[in-house]
Amino acid sequence: MTGLSEEVRPNKAFGWAAIDTSGVLSPFKFSTRGTGEKDVAFKVLYCGICHSDLHMIKNDWGSSIYPLVPGHEVVGEVTEVGSKVQKFKVGDRVGVGCMVGSCRSCDNCTNNLENYCPEMIFTYGAKYYDGTVTYGGYSNTMVVDEHFVVGIPENLPLDAAAPLLCAGITVYSPLRFYGLDKPGLHVGVVGLGGLGHLAVKFAKAMGTKVTVISTSPSKQKEALENLGADSFLVSRDQDQLRAAIGTFDGIVDTVSAQHPLLPLLGLLKSHGKLVVLGIPEKPLELPAFPLIQGRKLVGGSMTGGMKETQEMIDFAAEHGIKADTEVIAMDYVNAAMDRLLKGDVKYRFVIDIGNTLKSIS
């Protein structure tokens, strides 16, 4: 069904896949391509569970190809490199994020924005050049073009580094692009999950003052004491909202559920920027007056290019930024997905692939 000819994909592999829209994952045998001259083959050690994985296994976006092996926060150790590979050697600690291919020649690709290339190939659930479907990091081994592999510095523990490959770059890139990375600026982070908790850490490391904006007062202690936020705003508290009007230079909004933008726009100073990262099912209401009267903007962002992803990893290593994870065994993955649906995780599940993904006979 998926063109799994042995000539194209000679190497046996195994992982866990969803086979239908129930999204239930189970052991699955497949094959990877041989290591081409520009490819890096690696043993997967850890893989983060991204909320996108949950959407994809259930076909929420209508684009899923089954069997689907998710996982685009992948870290591991190089086992083989192709003859033309320059950046990596056997034994190196590497990572792969949300994409494994792009056209390499369009304006976006030549400007290190491969993530916006119209022919960008997702790490899983996408058609690759050889006609096969890509399989992600909930598996024992991957073969990826060198260009789409990043190196993980020694001082970053692999399990805590895995979520950086998607969540990390997804918040790092807009902080830079929208100029919310200057010391002294006041940045808000809406939503304290996989993305949000990393946004707090990166923004603090960039020298900004950070306020977590959340509907749950119970997260305040965590935000201030564990994550290092400077303050906490309960968005359902009208008095708190009113007191904070016009005090933010920027707000990074990681919430994917439907929610009102008007209060967030009100929190911005004039010329402030609201960055939206979550993709709600339906359009959001955008009141024109606050945008116009304060020359404010609402902008989006999606992961990041390869150059910036490596830069983000190096920045994280330099500043000791790690994701807060709950490491789980492979066979816990379905329970983890149920908990993720309820937001019951602080703040990213990471599958211990190396130690718990058993080969399938």
Partner 1 sequence: MSKSSEGEKQQKAFGWAATDESGTLSPFHFSRRENGDEDVTIKILYCGVCHSDLHSLTNEWGFTSYPVVPGHEIVGVATKVGKNVTKFKAGDRVGVGVMVGSCKTCECCQQDLENYCSQIIFTYNSHNPDGTKNYGGYSDMIVVDQRYVLRFPDNLPLDAGAPLLCAGITVYSPMKYYGMTEAGKHLGVAGLGGLGHVAVKIAKAFGLKVTVISSSPQKESEAINRLGADSFLASSDPAKMKSAIGSMDCIIDTVSAVHPLFPLLSLLKVNGKLVTLGLPNKPLELPVFPLVSGRKLVGGSDFGGMKETQEMLDFCAKHNIAADIELIRIDEINTAMERLARSDVRFRFVIDVANSLSQ
What does the binding site for partner 1 look like in residue numbers (CB under 8 A)?
107-108, 113, 116, 118, 177, 246, 261-262, 270-271, 276-280, 283-302
Q: Give the nearer residue to partner 1 in terms of CB position, either 108 or 208.
A: 108
Q: Give the nearer residue to partner 1 in terms of CB position, either 224 or 291.
A: 291
Q: What DSSP string runs through 133-160?
A: BP--SSBSEEEEEGGG-EE--TTS-HHH
**Token pair belonging to 161:** 């580094």
Q: Give the nearer residue to partner 1 in terms of CB position, either 76 or 290.
A: 290
CA distance 91 to 320: 23
Tell the smallest beta-carbon distance from residue 253 to partner 1 (Å). 10
Tell the smallest beta-carbon distance from residue 242 to partner 1 (Å). 14
- Cα atoms in the 13 Å half-sphere on the side-chain side of 191: 22
The one-character DSSP state at 217 is G
Q: Give the nearer residue to partner 1 in terms of CB position, either 285 or 338.
A: 285
Q: What are phi and psi of 167, to 5 degrees?
A: -55, -45
Tell the smallest beta-carbon distance from residue 229 to partner 1 (Å). 24
Tell the smallest beta-carbon distance from residue 333 to partner 1 (Å). 26
Q: Give the nearer residue to partner 1 in terms of CB position, either 66 or 116.
A: 116
CA distance 287 to 281: 19
Name, in order, each residue with C-beta under 8 angstroms of 254's C-beta and a sequence gap of 6 or more: 171, 189, 190, 191, 193, 195, 196, 199, 277, 278
CA distance 328 to 306: 28
Let me know: does 97 contact 52? Beta carbons within 8 Å: no
Tell the smallest beta-carbon distance from residue 210 to partner 1 (Å). 22
From the CA atom positions of the chain, what is the Rg in Å?
20
Tell the smallest beta-carbon distance from residue 186 to partner 1 (Å). 14
Name, in order, each residue with C-beta under 8 angstroms of 234's C-beta and a sequence gap of 6 or more: 214, 215, 216, 217, 220, 240
Q: Give the nearer residue to partner 1 in terms of CB position, either 178 or 202.
A: 178
Q: Give the nearer residue to partner 1 in terms of CB position, either 217 or 299.
A: 299
Tell the smallest beta-carbon distance from residue 98 to partner 1 (Å). 12
